[in-house]
Amino acid sequence: MPEAVSICVIGSGYVGLVAAVCFAEMGHRVVCVDKDEAKINILREGGVPIFEHHLPDLLAKHRGRGVEFTTELAAAVERSEVIFIAVGTPQGDTGAADLSYVEAVVSEIARDLSGYKVIVEKSTVPVYTNEWIRRVLSRHRVDAGHFDVASNPEFLREGTAVSDFLHPDRIVVGAGTDRAAELLKRIYAPLTSGSYYTRADALKGSCTLEKPARLLLTSAQSAEIIKHASNAFLAMKISFINAVANLAGAVDADIEDIATGIGMDSRIGSRFLKAGLGYGGSCFPKDVAAFTYVAQQQGLDFQLLEEVQRINDAQRDVFFKKVESALWTLRGKKLAALGLAFKCDTDDIRESPAMDVIQRLLEAGARVTAYDPASIERAREKMPPSEILTYAADPYEAARDADALLILTEWKEFGELDLPRLGRTLKFPIVIDGRNMYRPELMAEHGFTYVSMGRPDSQSTEVGSAKKKIL
């Protein structure tokens, strides 16, 4: 087995917590640091502050053994060979990433640094952040021989973050010295050698001993750009397919067939070619804006990314207009909304298209009953229950006597509803699907008026026959 490395992870959010637990799973000794005492106490006592598959099991397995949690940064830094910075980099008013949390952490590290350490950017940061970290350390009079700065961006998807970490498409390490590069290679050796995948208790996934994880060694600047460029490209694919969906809907074509045909081209691939309400969450909106800002700072006009953002924002308008068209007026209508999270398999509602659509419906005078399998509590904090907004315990409670059902997040269970029961529960059999969870012909067979994205609207066969007789 590769030699264990002593690691400090600063930050216990999605990236930091997943990284800390997965490093422990790989056999390293990890200390996860956060200033939030309440969160640290939850983690120490066996709680899991975020919704993420496999995370509860791995926390139970390694808590107090391979990974420990603390608010004491100085002691954690002293014990560690490598320090991963995984704090928030929220979007500022200009679109640029706010790096104040990163700077504050680096300043605190500088006060406690003794002996050689590798300081690693794990947060998503703009290019040249590694150079600014060096400058901050130098301003605090830290000996240049006592540290190296490296970039090791994460490529984790909420809901599958643990699997993504342990079975990655690629591991990117941006390091300016051989010493730093070798230490980071040691950390990831269980994955790149394939030794982790031979363990009986290893999490199963796409990587194996014969097909281990791949590591790409670059400069720190290249690694920083790889992260932003990757997210920007995926966001572009989403906006592209939504733009095509709007065309398809206008000419009675089917975006699902079109996406299948496009995705069969091996140069393009089928992933992220799903028409819907657009992207959301904590990464894509922020990273596209930050990447655009970085380009502008270098005197470059990245018009492509500006258009990606414009299409994404407009996609929610497209869906809202579909709701208006199906229901004529919204004031006084009772609507069932399935989905609050920005995507399935997470409880994250940050920049959620679903939340934005619900807010617009309420402002238009509708009453909404919402349901989500994981994010109701988070939604309650942002949008408390009221006379016009309530939360249901299941999809059918949400649908009771509603004028229409709206599907806003692509949870698997929303694509497996008992359609006869749903038809009996709704006041009117109208489903407006922002995620294309059903085939139009199936919904028509079950008596629904069905509106989706980039496909012709369908009505029940009875309604269709009646229209023909009237004509």
Q: For residue range 127-183, what is the model confidence (pLDDT) as tens digits?
A: 888 999 999 999 989 888 899 999 999 999 988 999 999 999 999 999 999 999 999
Position 3 scores a pLDDT of 83
CATH assignment of the domain containing 235: 1.10.1040.10
Let me know if residue 56 belongs to a domain. Answer: yes
Q: What is the pLDDT of residues 8-17, one digit of tens each?
A: 999 999 999 9
Position 459 scores a pLDDT of 81
Same domain, 325 and 204: no
Residue 453 has pLDDT above 90, yes or no: yes
Q: Which whole number is the average pLDDT over 112-119?
A: 89
Same domain, 204 and 277: no
Same domain, 169 and 30: yes
| Bridge partners for 370 per DSSP | 337, 391
**Structure tokens of 372?**
């989500």
Q: Is 84 left (phi over 0), alpha (psi -120 to 50) or beta?
A: beta
Residue 385 has pLDDT above 60, yes or no: yes
Position 91 scores a pLDDT of 78
Number of domains in the chain: 3
Mean of all residue pLDDT scores within the chain: 93
Kindly state the percentage of the chain with pLDDT values over 70.
97
The region of weakest confidence among 32-46, 96-110, 163-177, 374-388 is: 96-110
Same domain, 163 and 239: no
Residue 466 has pLDDT above 70, yes or no: no
Let me know if residue 247 belongs to a domain. Answer: yes
Token look-up 């700072």 returns 297
Among the listed residues 148, 80, 87, the one whose alpha carbon sits nearest the alpha carbon of residue 119: 148
Position 460 scores a pLDDT of 64
Same domain, 273 and 211: no
Let me know if residue 1 belongs to a domain. Answer: no
Q: How far apart are CA 24 and CA 201, in angstroms?
A: 13
Mark which of 196, 218, 240 sits at the end of a domain: 218
Q: Evaluate whether 362 touches 331 at the Cβ level (below 8 Å).
A: no
Same domain, 210 and 234: no
Position 467 scores a pLDDT of 39
Q: Which whole number is the average pLDDT over 384-403?
A: 97
Q: Count how many Cα atoms sit within 13 Å of the Cα of residue 413 in the half-sphere of its side chain.
A: 11
Q: Evaluate whether 79 touches 6 at the Cβ level (below 8 Å).
A: yes
Mark which of 187, 218, 249 sits at the end of a domain: 218
Cβ count near 332 (within 10 Å): 9
Please tell me which residue in 8, 32, 207, 283 is annotated as part of the active site.
Answer: 283
283 catalytic, yes or no?
A: yes
Cβ count near 392 (within 10 Å): 18
Same domain, 285 and 328: no
Same domain, 339 and 262: no
Same domain, 285 and 394: no
Q: Which whole number is the average pLDDT over 197-218?
A: 97
* The length of the chain, given as a count of residues: 471
Q: How far apart are CA 137 and CA 228, in angstroms?
A: 25
Cβ count near 264 (within 10 Å): 10
Same domain, 233 and 254: yes
Position 465 scores a pLDDT of 42
Let me know if residue 398 belongs to a domain. Answer: yes
Mark which of 279, 311, 343 sits at the end of a domain: 311
Q: How far apart are CA 418 and CA 396, in angstroms?
A: 9
Q: What is the pLDDT of residues 29-72, one digit of tens each?
A: 999 999 999 999 999 998 988 889 999 999 999 998 999 999 99
Same domain, 300 and 342: no
Q: Evaluate whether 421 touches 415 at the Cβ level (below 8 Å).
A: no
Q: Which whole number is the average pLDDT over 233-262?
A: 96
Position 114 scores a pLDDT of 80
Let me know if residue 192 belongs to a domain. Answer: yes
Q: Which whole number is the average pLDDT over 401-429?
A: 97
Residue 461 has pLDDT above 70, yes or no: no
Cα maximum dimension of the chain = 87
Give the confidence band of 469 by pLDDT, cuts at 50, 70, 90.
very low
Among the listed residues 427, 433, 426, the one whose alpha carbon sits nearest the alpha carbon of residue 407: 433
Domain extent for 307: 227-311
Work out whether strand 171-175 and strand 147-151 pair parallel, antiparallel, or are unpaired: antiparallel
CATH assignment of the domain containing 34: 3.40.50.720
Let me know if residue 336 belongs to a domain. Answer: yes
Token look-up 């391979």 returns 66
Please enumerate in sequence order all residues whose Cβ is within 8 A of that of 47, keeping only pairs 6 or more positions apart, or say none. none
Q: What is the pLDDT of residues 328-339, one digit of tens each?
A: 899 999 999 999
Q: Evaluate whether 83 touches 117 at the Cβ level (below 8 Å).
A: yes
